[in-house]
Amino acid sequence: MATARASLTLIRPLITPEGVDLRVKLADAGTRAAAFLLDVVIIVAAAIAVTLVVIFGLGGLGVKEAEPLFIVWIIFIFLLRNVYFIAFEAGRRAATPGKRIVGVRVASRSGAGLTIDQVIARNLMREIEVFLPLSIIAARGGTGVADTLSTIFGLVWALLFSLFLLFNRDRLRIGDLLAGTWVVEAPKLKLVEDLAQRQDPVAKRFHFSPAQLDAYGIAELHKLEEVLRRDDYFAMKAVAETIGGKIGAKVEPIDSKAFLTAYYGELRAQLERKLLLGNRKADKHAR
């Protein structure tokens, strides 16, 4: 019972731009920590591999000749860890390999699509939260009082930021607060149906003009896919009414799923055709 209650406390409403409430479950602190550690292991393995290649390739250089390369190596490690997090979270899955393994992803708290600005903000903040204090600890040069104090300072700094998500109900890092994001559960599906290939006899009754399909773009297509996969009657009814009202199509509540399936298939096909021409619409606000 206690576990069930704890699980329910992490359920949050996520209102889409169409006004539909898609309930999400926030990732708990342990899951987030596990995902981060997995990502760190991957980054460290990549850094070690590159370092060994460089060492064997430039083994004949002296200490003085190698000093500039050491600076380049530090810059490379900084870029590696930031590009790693930003590139993966800016992708369609909005998740690094570590997050995918444990079944979580990043989402915007506003319910809109995750933007590159949010991804960059939340990940650059990690430098201040984690990597900067760790760098202070690693830069210790001896065993004196100053070095001991710097180590204590670095540890306290890292702990304060790391434990921050334990003391707020939404399990947010400082980076999440600034970027307007949170990390939600996204369990992997063993078999994911291609929604565009659904065989629904009722859906065949619906056909849409190019103007009706132009009302929405890629962002709305992804949200529509989430609604269809969730297969919640009330959510599909609300979305069908919203889309029908915008494009001038009358939809009976009983036909909501068929209508959305048909619209999803045709919208996806049109966006894929336009991709070949380089003029695919990003969202409903694009012109």
pLDDT in tens, 111-137: 777 899 999 999 999 888 888 877 777
- Candidates 120, 111, 96; CA nearest to 36 is 96
Tokens matching residue 44: 């460290």
Give the number of other CB atoms < 10 A from CB of residue 185: 16
- 203 shares a domain with 124: no
Asked if the structure places residue 266 within a domain, the reply is yes
Same domain, 96 and 223: no
User: Which domain range does residue 94 map to?
Assistant: 2-128+169-185
The reply to whether 10 and 112 lie within a common domain is yes
Exposure b/e, 59-75, CB count within 10 A at least 16 = b: eeeeeeeeeeeeeeeee
pLDDT for 265 equals: 85
Instruction: HSE, CB side, 13 Å, CA atoms: give it for residue 51.
Output: 14
Q: What is the rounded CA–CA span in Å between residue 261 and residue 193? A: 12
pLDDT tens column, 29-59: 889 999 999 999 999 999 898 888 777 766 6
The number of folded domains in the chain is 2
Q: What are the phi and psi torsion angles at 24 (to 5°)?
A: -125, 155
Residue tagged 């619906």 (tokens):
206
**153 falls within a domain:** no
Pull the structure tokens for residue 200: 């629904």
